[in-house]
Structure 1
Amino acid sequence: MSSTTSQSATADSTKILSTAKAESSLLKQPKAVWAVFFACIIAFMGLGLVDPILPAIAEKLHASQSQVTLLFTSYNAVMAVAMLITGMISSRLGIKWTLMAGIVIIAVFSALGGSSNGIWALVGLRGGWGLGNALFVATALAAIVSLSNSGTAKAIILYEAAIGLGISVGPLLGGWLGAMSWRGPFLGVASLMVIAFFGLLILMPKAASQSTVKTKTSLADPFRALKHRSLLVFGIAAALYNFGFFTLLAFAPFVMGLDEHGLGYVFLGWGILLAVTSVFMAPKLQARFGTIKSMCAMLTLFALVLVAMGIWTSTQWVIIAAVIVAGALLGNNNTLITTAVMNAAPVERSTASAAYSFLRFIGGAIAPYTAGKLAEIYNPSVPFIVGAGFVLVSVLFIWFNGKHIKHVDDIGAGH
């Protein structure tokens, strides 16, 4: 009897220890994962750094709002197309050198952007920045997932945390540098990328220089991957909801009536909520309600936030509060949809990421310029209402294609 009790106690102890180990494994990562993690933070600072200076760029370079929003359009458009070649490049160069190539390109184009004197030159250089970001972002996600020792779901949480931290710290730094000169944030990104470059050079092992993909990826692979209906559904849904995401990101600074510092603080709040919810709240939602239901709920709430911004566009506190609250909804959704994409189709993770990101950033490319033009033709409320409409369409699209993506929840339950 005592022997049985002892065995039971030992089993319970082992179970408790294994559970504790599983829970803490998110932070117990190889050095290579942390190197990519910190580089991701710096890379995603680039997005937030520019946000507080959009009105300042319009003023200093004598550009219209729609012309300034092209800084997001060129960036996202180049990024979307470049996503198609990231797998082909990384399968030949290997993870380490693809990441470092992306970092060098970002550093060069952001430095050139900081020294440019016209809006069209700046728009073109932001496109070059998008090329570097495509190489880095697609490879970084695949790198963290493949190098991590804590499973896909936790690796994605780590990746989303890096994005959130970068996006939240970026506006604060951008507001501070932008208050001195609109050129400051561009030169700031270039400097930070130099730090990231040496960080990866030193911390990433030589093994990461080799490709983790045994077969060379071709240009056609992302298109072949989209033949999987589940991946196509998530990609189109992401393109639709990114219309709302980038409407908020690119156009909200113009209606807030704040200076560079003020915009920096608002987007700091937005980014902090995005980071916190992506790491702590999204996994709980996923476990309790499932990936698809949670995703639809977050997107519906985000659409309502955009509607509120469209109705009370001239009420400053409503716009500020809406932007910050949107951070929480987008943080949850980003983690949910990225996890779903990684489990959606039986293809290489880097290929799935490239195919999904291609569609996602098309939405991000169309939205900013469209928002600026709608405001010029009609009024500043219209872009937010239109953005809300696209987000609601994404919810309906996910719902009507439920049978093609329901296996994602089954995989999640299996984990």
Structure 2
Amino acid sequence: MHAVQSPLATASPAAGAAAPARHTAVLAITCLALATVVAAMSSLNVALPAIARETHADQSQLSWIIDAYSLVFAALLLPAGALGDRFGRRRALLAGLTVFGAGSALAMTTTSPDALIAVRALLGVGAALVMPATLATITSTFPRERRAGAVSVWAAVAGASAVVGVLISGSLLQEWSWRSVFLLNVVLAGLAVAGVVARVPESAEPQQPPLDVLGALLVATGLGVLVYSIIEAPQHGWTSPATLGGAGLGLLVLIGFVAWELRTGHPLLDPRLFRNRRFAAGTASIALQFFAFFGFLFVLMQYLQLVRGDSALTAAVSMLPMAATLVPGSRLSPLLGARLGVRRPWVAGLVLAATGLGLFSRVDGDTPYWQLAGILVVLGAGLGLAMPPATTAITDALPATQQAVGSAMNDLARELGGALGIAVLGSILTAGYRSHLTLPDLPAQAADAARSSLGAAAAMGGPVLDHARTAFVAGLQEALLGGAATLLLAAVAVALLLRRRSSER
């Protein structure tokens, strides 16, 4: 297979002198497109209390409003990445950004939680076309000696965009309704489209094998059933036949996907790639990092607004200490890796991030903000150190002809980890909240409404809200302990997979 050469690869000597500037423009535009779709995963978290009040969404529906986007995003990443490789990554960027912008405009007109869930799923379709095309464009445009630096910028943007999206959304919510968050999506998508049209070259591999349609259907179905079962578990019970049967069916379909991928001549994702230790370590680490990160953001925004009573803007600004260390940590990580070997800063970052979540699991409604800020600094520094080596391990583990596969796998690990993190940690939070909430003197109908979400309890005020806040904190502590354990698991996995000295070369 031979990739179609971009104008950058065939430029004249004079144009070649301008290559660094062109590379910078391509990096800036692709990172804007990346930030647009990544921020959409987190930016709506700050609006959840307002959405719950206006649409009367319960806690499960709030999880779906966030996760419908992430789940469709993850399920379609591999086939969407393959389409971008075949027909052109620039075309994929333009198509995906158009769908994303149009869907965001439609979301501004919704009035019910179910409609909002459906539109968020549509946004996931657009995002699936955009994200793999961003990293594939960077790796196909930049020369190898500059690729690690460009990928570190990409990883920093991917991590920081979640925090920046929350901050901008909080600012918008200070003056306007939650629909302004979707207006932001429309504006960012429009700017990214203009940049892609003006400066991003086309790159493609038209000699691609036939698309693995059955594999795409199997992975989408398996992930959908699994995540649905996890999100609905607090409603049905974690040990109920519906939960266990649904989770078992989802896992069975995913096992069938792996079996099919091993048999077919043109797999969507070849499971044999995981024999490469660096590839396996990078994939596992990225998935588990974003599992903890996006699950944390989902529960944190509700804690700050509904337990501490912060405004949307104050809650968003409260996240700045994490961004202040995440971005520098992402830039420092490649330098430490070059000096100490990739394994040490990578594992240290994961342990540091796990420590941050473990400390956060001890907070309550009266914890002073300076303590929260200190914990966020620790968490951001850990994630900043751990994200770039994981992404670089995936892309560097594969030859140039398989960079698209590496890009898609990196994106899939991020989105799947994020979707599962929101589902699992959100469900742990919901189950803990309901189990710790006791309202013996409240009529059954009012008690059921209070148990549906903290937002509903907040509308009742008084003693009900006090009990609900205490119960929510108990559920939050359990959820964040689960997130900390996940990051420690990632640290152990990376340490074991890269234990050979040759792995650091």
Structure 2 length as normaliser, TM-score?
0.69
Which stretch shows the higher mean deviation, 333-342 or 266-275? Answer: 266-275
Deviation at 1:316, TM superposition (A): 4.8
Instruction: Tell me the equivalent position of 1:399.
Output: 495
Kindly provide the CA deviation profile for residues 6-55 of structure 1, in whole angstroms up to 9, marking residues without a partner as x: xxxxxxxxxxxxxxxxxxx9777264343323333444443443232222
- The answer to whether the aligner puts 1:374 opposite 2:403 as a matched pair is no
Q: 1:309 to 1:401 in 2, by over 3 A?
A: same
2-side partners of 1:91 and 1:26: how far apart?
24
Residues 142 and 320 (structure 1), Cα distance of their counterparts in 2 relative to 1, 3 Å cut: same
Q: Which residue of 1 aligns with 2:122?
A: 128
Q: The residue matched to 2:318 in structure 1 has which SS? A: helix
Supply the AA of the counterpart residue of 1:240. Answer: L
Q: Number of matched residues?
A: 382
* Equivalent residue, structure 2, for 1:343: 396
CA shift, 1:214, in A, is 5.0
Task: Report how far residue 290 of structure 1 moved.
Answer: 1.6
Name the counterpart of 2:381.
328
The structure-2 alpha-carbon separation of the partners of 1:216 and 1:360, relative to structure 1 and needing over 3 Å to count, comes to same
1:143 matched to which residue of 2? 137
Q: Could you say if the C-alpha distance between residues 358 and 327 of structure 1 is closer, same or farther in structure 2, counting changes exceeding 3 Å?
A: same
Counterpart of 2:345 in structure 1 is 294
The residue type paired with residue 406 of structure 2 is: A
In structure 1, distance between residues paired with 2:496 and 2:323: 31
TM-aligned CA deviation for residue 123 of structure 1: 2.1
Shift of 1:243: 2.2
Q: 1:395 to 1:31 in 2, by over 3 A?
A: closer
Residue 399 of structure 1 and its aligned partner are, at CA, apart by 2.2
8 Å Cα contact 2:282/2:394 also seen in 1? yes
Post-superposition CA distance 1:145-168 (Å, at most 9, x none): 211245320120232343356444
Match of 1:358 in 2: 412
Alignment of 1:162 onto 2:154: no
Looking at structure 1, the residues matched to 485 and 156 of structure 2 have their Cα atoms a distance apart, in angstroms, of 28
Aligned to 2:204: 211
Question: 1:223 aligns to what?
Answer: 270
Task: Report if aligned partners of 1:106, 1:193 keep a CA contact under 8 Å in 2.
Answer: yes
Equivalent-residue separation in structure 2 for 1:407 and 1:103 (angstroms): 41
| Partner in structure 1 of residue 285 of structure 2 | 237
Q: What CA distance in whole angstroms lies between the structure 2 residues aligned with 1:225 and 1:266? A: 43
Q: Aligned pair in 2 of structure 1 residues 130, 94: CA closer, same or farther (>3 Å)?
A: same
Corresponding residue number in structure 1 for 2:92: 98
CA contact (8 A) 2:51 2:178 kept: yes
Judged with a 3 Å threshold, the aligned counterparts in structure 2 of structure 1 residues 373 and 158 are, in CA distance, closer, same or farther, namely: closer
Q: Deviations over 1:146-204 (max 9, x none)?
A: 11245320120232343356444422321121221011111211122112112211222
The answer as to 2:308 corresponding to 1:260 is: no
Asked whether 1:114 is paired with 2:209, we answer no
Contact 1:273/1:328 (8 A) holds in 2: yes
What code does the residue aligned with 1:374 have? I
Match of 1:198 among 190, 194, 200: 194
Determine if contact 1:26/1:158 at 8 Å carries over to the other structure: no
Give the direction of change, closer, same or farther, for the CA distance of 1:401–1:146 in structure 2 (3 Å limit).
same
Deviates more, 1:165-174 or 1:245-254: 165-174
Q: In the aligned structure 1, how far is the partner of 2:415 from the partner of 2:36?
A: 20
- CA contact under 8 A between 1:228 and 1:345: conserved in structure 2? no
Structure 2 stretches lacking a partner, 5+ long: 1-18, 213-266, 433-474
Structure 2 counterparts to residues 384-395 of structure 1, below 5 A: 384-395=480-491
Instruction: Give the counterpart letter for 2:417 in structure 1.
Output: G
The one-letter amino acid paired with 2:153 is L
**Retained in 2: the 8 A contact 1:168–1:272?**
no
**Partner residue of 1:34 out of 28, 43, 46:** 28
Deviation (angstroms), 1:287: 1.8
Asked whether the 8 Å contact 1:167–1:271 carries over to 2, the reply is: no
Is the contact made by 1:69 and 1:251 (CA closer than 8 Å) also made in structure 2? no
SS of 1:311 mapped into structure 2: coil
Distance, in Å, in 2 between the alignment partners of 1:161 and 1:374 is 29
Q: Amino acid of the residue matched to residue 82 of structure 2?
A: M
Alpha-carbon deviations, 1:74-131, whole Å to 9, x = none?
2222122111113320122211101111111211222222221122222222222222
Letter in structure 2 aligned against 1:357 = D
**Aligned 8 A contact 1:51 1:174 in 2:** no
Indicate whether 1:176 and 2:171 are aligned.
yes
Per mean C-alpha deviation after superposition, the further-off stretch among 81-90 and 363-372 is 363-372
- Does the Cα contact within 8 Å between 1:157 and 1:335 map onto a contact in 2? yes
Q: Within 1, Cα distance between the matches of 2:70 and 2:39? A: 16
For each residue in 1:218-246, what CA deviation from the matched residue of structure 2 results, as whole angstroms up to 9, or x when unmatched? 43142346343422343233323322112
Residue pair 1:39, 1:199 contacting (<8 A) in 2 also: no
User: In the alignment, what sits opposite 2:463?
Assistant: none
Which has the bigger relative contact order, CA under 8 A and spacing at least 6?
1
Question: Is the Cα–Cα contact under 8 Å of residues 289 and 383 in structure 2 kept in the other structure?
Answer: no
Tell me the residue number matched to 1:21. Answer: none
Cα distance in 1 for partners of 2:323, 2:96 equals: 23
Give the counterpart letter for 1:409 in structure 2: E
Match of 2:357 in 1: 306
Q: Does 1:77 align with 2:74?
A: no
What is the CA–CA distance in structure 1 between the aligned matches of 2:20 and 2:333, rounded to whole Å?
15
In terms of mean alpha carbon deviation, does 48-57 or 388-397 score higher? 48-57
Give aligned-pair identity as a percent: 25
Stretches of structure 1 lacking an aligned partner (at least 5 in a row): 1-24, 411-415
